[in-house]
Amino acid sequence: MTLNEAVKAVKPLYQLAMEEARTRWNSIAKPLYSLGLLEDAVVRIAGITRSSKVMLGKMGVTVFCADNGVVEEGVTQTDQETTAIVTENFTKGCTSVCHMAAIAGAQVIPVDIGVARNVTGTGLRINKIAYGTQNMTKGPAMTKEQAVQALEVGINLALELKKQGYGILATGEMGIGNTTTSSAMAAVLLRKDPAEVTGRGAGLSSAGLNRKVDAIRRAIALNRPDPNDALDILAKVGGLDIAGLAGVFLGGAAVELPVVIDGFISSVAAFTAVQLCPGVREYLLPSHQSREPAGKLMLSALGLEPFLNCHMSLGEGTGAVAVLPLLQMACRIYHEMSTFHEIAMENYIEQK
């Protein structure tokens, strides 16, 4: 499926299924709306899947791995080899998200979309668009053609996983330097000064943070990305991992598959998908509020309220995976708890 085909395939949420799901929640023998955002999530999933019989089923975590040329500017604490090492570790089940996914019952699906060297491992998907992006302080990070290719990798991965029976996807990424690219995109998308949306990433010193902000300012000044053109922003100051993630959000919406946002980087990808296709916004599920400065800003811009605030900023999809058991618990109550009628108890009535 092409980018244009995915955009055209996105439909509004199915309101009848959402109404049926809300009616079911209100019939369950508990105080009305007492599970808060979890109830809202089940209702939204009903609208996404076009059925009030909400079952998450098979769960996956798509982790897009890519390098970023901007690391040449001293914006990170470690070098690009870390991206390759961690990418291969996903296939060995020994990263943070792998351990969390094992508890949640989710399958980790790593994708090499732009690691700076060849990587291998059982289950690793090789969709390498380039061996990392270019240094955005010296020119565009990638061509628009490469950005579209990366978007379509994500779109078609979502389609493939839907066909394989996955009922919900979490999103994750790995790429040294990608808090720099995501901060650059956030600055343009939200029309903010880079200092407002840029954090220390994986433990930068104050001097390192200053270099990072300066690099972002120089990249934006040089490339002049159009704030009204998400594809232009993505190509000029973004990353291949962000593009792949944005594609998953688009593809998920196109095939009615719920997709959970992880942290800051994932939310930038989600915002990019919404800019490319406004209908995607209804299909997004939040997870947590990242510790990165723009974490709250991005979720607010998307109109989403996070389930968790654990001050996390690890990436890999860890925040998104942490929410999956909560959604499973909500579905268990939704389907299996007795109704007021079944236990001969008087219904709660909404007070005005």
DSSP code at position 278: G
Report in angstroms the alpha-carbon separations of 130 from 46, 146, 174, 335: 38, 8, 15, 46
CA-nearest of 126, 130, 125 to 114 is 130
Q: Is the dihedral of CA 120, 124, 127, 133 positive or negative?
A: negative
316 is annotated as an active-site residue: yes
Token look-up 């996070």 returns 306
Residue 91 contacts by C-beta under 8 Å, 6 or more apart in sequence? 110, 120, 121, 122, 123, 124
Kindly compute the dihedral angle of the four CA atoms of residues 81, 82, 85, 90, in this order, to the nearest 10 degrees.
-140
Q: CA 196 → CA 60, 179, 209, 216, 292, distances in Å? A: 33, 13, 12, 12, 10
Measured distance CA(24)–CA(4) in Å, rounded: 37
Q: CA 321 to CA 316: how far, in whole Å?
A: 9
Q: 173, 305, 316, 346: which is the annotated catalytic residue?
A: 316
Catalytic residues: 316
